[in-house]
Amino acid sequence: MRLVVVSAGLSVPSSTRLLADRLAVGTAGRTAAEVRVIELRDLAVEIAHTFTNGFPPPPLADAFAAVAEADGVIAVTPVFSASYSGLFKSFFDALSVTDEDALAGKPVLIGATGGTARHSLVLDHALRPLFAYLKAVVVPTGVYAASEDWGAEGLDGRTERAAGELAALMTGLSGADRPRPRRDSFEEVVPFEQRLAALRPAG
C-alpha cells in the first residue's frame, strides 16, 4: 500500500512539513503503507515549466505517477493570502492537466498551517472544494496547525483522528473494485465507425 505526502512548505525546517510528517506517521502506523514525500519546493521550477511547455519535466512526471498510483494522499499547504499557496495550487493544476483523473476516488487528507488560528477555515473553504472538484474522497477531519498549536494541547488528537480516518478509507477503498489502474486513452480507442455513427442524425 502506498501513501504519498505532498508538502508545500517553503522554509527548512518547515512547520507544514512537520504537520505532514505527523499525519504520515499516524497513517502509516495503521496501514503499513510505504510513504513517499513530495516536497513541492524542490519541484517549483518544473511545475512552472509544465505551464510554459505543456508537459511535465521528468522529475515532476515521476511525482505525478506516484500520486496517481497512491492508495492515499496527504496534502498540506501553508496559508498564503487567505488560501492555499500558489505553488500548492499549481502542483494540482499541473497534475490535473496531465492526468485529469489522477485523484478520482482517492482518499485525501488535507492539512494547512498558518501564523494564526484565524485562518483555520481555509481547510473547508479552499482545500476541500479544490479536492472535491478533483473527484477525491476528502477525509472528514482536516488538520489546521497555527503557530500556537505547536505549544498547546489538542493538535495530536486532531492529527490522530484524521490519520485514523485516512487509514480507514485507504484500507476500505483499496479493494478489488478500485477505479485504478488509471484510464489510458491510448489503450481505449473508440473505433472510428462508432464516433462517426454517433454524429449521424436520427432517422
Partner 1 sequence: MQFGIFSVGDVTPDPTTGRTPTERERIKAMVAIALKAEEVGLDVFATGEHHNPPFVPSSPTTMLGYIAARTERLVLSTSTTLITTNDPVKIAEDFAMLQHLADGRVDVMMGRGNTGPVYPWFGKDIRQGINLAVENYALLHRLWREEGVDWEGRFRTPLQGFTSTPRPLDGVAPFVWHGSIRSPEIAEQAAYYGDGFFHNNIFWPADHTKRMVELYRQRYAHYGHGTPEQAIVGLGGQVFMRRNSQDAVREFRPYFDVAPVYGHGPSLEEFTEQTPLTVGSPQQVIEKTLAFRDYAGDYQRQLFLMDHAGLPLKTVLEQLDLLGEEVVPVLRKEFAKDRPAGVPDAPTHASLLAGARKDVREDVREDVREEGVRA
For the CB of residue 131, give the shortest distance to partner 1 in the complex, in Å: 25
Task: Specify the residue, 151 or 201, whose C-beta has the smaller distance to partner 1.
Answer: 201
For the CB of residue 13, give the shortest distance to partner 1 in the complex, in Å: 30
For the CB of residue 196, give the shortest distance to partner 1 in the complex, in Å: 6
Please, what is the angle between helix 58-69 and helix 86-98, to 10°?
A: 80
Task: Specify the residue, 45 or 152, whose C-beta has the smaller distance to partner 1.
Answer: 45
Task: Specify the residue, 81 or 185, whose C-beta has the smaller distance to partner 1.
Answer: 185
Name residues whose C-beta falls within 8 Å of residue 117's C-beta, 6 or more positions apart in sequence.
144, 146, 148, 149
Task: Specify the residue, 176 or 190, whose C-beta has the smaller distance to partner 1.
Answer: 190
Cβ–Cβ < 8 Å for 74, 20: yes
For the CB of residue 203, give the shortest distance to partner 1 in the complex, in Å: 10
For the CB of residue 193, give the shortest distance to partner 1 in the complex, in Å: 8
Residues that bind partner 1 (CB under 8 A): 48-49, 52-55, 57-58, 185-186, 189-193, 195-196, 198-201
Name residues whose C-beta falls within 8 Å of residue 4's C-beta, 6 or more positions apart in sequence.
35, 36, 37, 38, 66, 67, 70, 72, 73, 74
Nearest to 27 by CA among 153, 123, 170: 170
Name residues whose C-beta falls within 8 Å of residue 138's C-beta, 6 or more positions apart in sequence.
108, 109, 110, 127, 128, 131, 132
